[in-house]
Amino acid sequence: MRNIVVETLPGLPVSEHEVELVERKGVGHPDSICDAIMERVSIALSQEYLRRAGTILHHNIDKALLVAGESEIRLGGGVVKQPMRLIFGDRATYIADDVEIPVAEIAINTAKSWIRQNLRFVDPEAHVTYQVEIKPGSPELVDIFRREVIVANDTSAAVGYAPLTETETIVLEVERYINSPEFKARFPESGEDVKVMGFRKGRELHLTIAVAFVDRFIDSEATYFRRKKEMQEAIEEYVRSRTSFERIYFYLNHLDQPGRGLGGMYLSVLGTSAESGDSGQIGRGNRVNGVIALNRPMGTEAAAGKNPVSHVGKIYTILTHQAANKIYTEVPGIREVYVWMCSQIGEPIDRPKITACQLILEKGVRKSRVIRQAREILDRELANIMQLTRELAEGRYPVC
């Protein structure tokens, strides 16, 4: 029997709190770059291990630092004076059946491929250098992958929830819209480094948005502020057509100040602040559901780059959100769901030390029925956990 506890909560859903704060970091944000690349490296290693050894071997590529470079911004197009440096950690298996796995080569080539696909103005050969600090794993953690029953490699906890609030949804969608091919075609000067902060008070929404403008498209201060105005109008139209807030306020590149030249405009050479202004680190970006929601409980694990076989910091982080969504959609009468899981190192991954579920119900709902159904779903999801690990190894679920 799995240790599953389901309870009801008396409070209000987050959507009915007076104040709500939600953030999303775009694909070109330095933290998002670290998360996305290291997750892609884990997937690439998993596929190489399967090809070479027939099974996924021990690895955790969940430590990374993107050290900011140095650039000189100029109207009409600046220059990169010092490249960014991407540092890879942490552990991987280098030998499989006496065959050497080219871990460093896989890591670097994967990073270059991701940069080409996602950052239009970054040349992965010229603008980034690479430092691989991935070492072999400890014998005990490596041995987990040889056991008949896969056990947790750590004692850690995760939490997921459902559904997304209207604020969470629009913050997520606004960043995706700004980084969509359609938006880039209309506003090619908009870099991939986008950050959206949503602040809701009652039915009033404030959206503070940062978009790194690419300087090669801006020939004067007048051009910058004209294009910024047009960009804000497009974002406003998009948001107003998709939300029901009573009042919405927009603040695009709010640090800008006309008349201050380069000091009063948010310009970049490559479309990411990592070129000179801001370093990045894995685990500091979006949660696995795409947002950083300050009203919600959040785990401390960085899911990106962890192995999909035994690292419960990754598996449970994904699974808790999936289970919460299934409970919310499959069980009538629920307003909000929270799912918690805590592993115990050395125990089978399908049997957490505790699985807890907290429900906020609609009025008049029979509590016993809902609790029973929620428990059944949680038990089913844990029983199917090996299917989830296979899908994670294939990269089916985004983690940032």
pTM: 0.95
Pseudo-torsion of CA 328, 173, 317, 105, nearest 10°? 150
Residues 166-281: name the CATH superfamily: S-adenosylmethionine synthetase, N-terminal domain (3.30.300.340)
| Amino acid 143: pLDDT | 81
| Amino acid 98: pLDDT | 84
**Helix, strand, or coil (residue 313):** helix
| Amino acid 277: pLDDT | 82
Cα separation, 27 vs 30, whole angstroms: 8
Q: Report which DSSP code applies to 14.
A: G
Transcribe 56-93 into DSSP letters. Answer: PPPEEEEEEEEE--EEE--TT--EEEE-EEEEEEEEE-
Give the right CATH number for 30-146 from 2.60.120.10, 1.10.1040.10, 3.30.300.10, 3.90.950.20: 3.30.300.10
Transcribe 200-266 into DSSP letters. Answer: EETTEEEEEEEEEEEGGG--SHHHHHHHHHHHHHHHHHHHHTT---SEEEEEESTT--TTSGGGGS-
Could you list the pLDDT tens digit for every one of the 400 residues in the chain? 899 999 999 999 999 999 999 999 999 999 999 999 999 999 999 999 999 989 999 999 999 999 999 999 999 999 999 999 999 999 999 998 888 999 999 999 999 999 999 999 999 999 999 999 999 988 777 787 887 789 999 999 999 999 999 999 999 999 999 999 999 999 999 999 999 999 999 999 999 999 999 999 999 999 999 999 999 999 999 999 999 999 999 999 999 999 999 999 999 999 999 999 899 999 999 999 999 999 999 988 889 999 999 999 999 999 999 999 999 999 999 999 999 999 999 999 999 999 999 999 999 999 999 999 999 999 999 999 999 999 999 999 988 8
Cα separation, 300 vs 306, whole angstroms: 13
Tokens standing for residue 376: 């059944």
Helix (H) or strand (E) holding 159: strand 157-162
Enumerate the domain spans of the chain: 4-14+155-164+297-393, 30-146, 166-281
Tokens standing for residue 227: 């294009």
- Cβ atoms of 272 and 122 closer than 8 Å: yes
Cα separation, 151 vs 131, whole angstroms: 32
| Amino acid 300: pLDDT | 85
Residue the block writes with tokens 């801001």: 278
Check: CATH 3.60.90.10 for 4-14+155-164+297-393? no
Tokens standing for residue 12: 């209000």
Crossing angle of helices 30-53/103-118, nearest 10°? 130
Spatial CA neighbour of 287 closest among 25, 18, 17: 25
| Amino acid 343: pLDDT | 96
Task: Examine domains 4-14+155-164+297-393 and 166-281 and report if their fold is the same.
Answer: yes
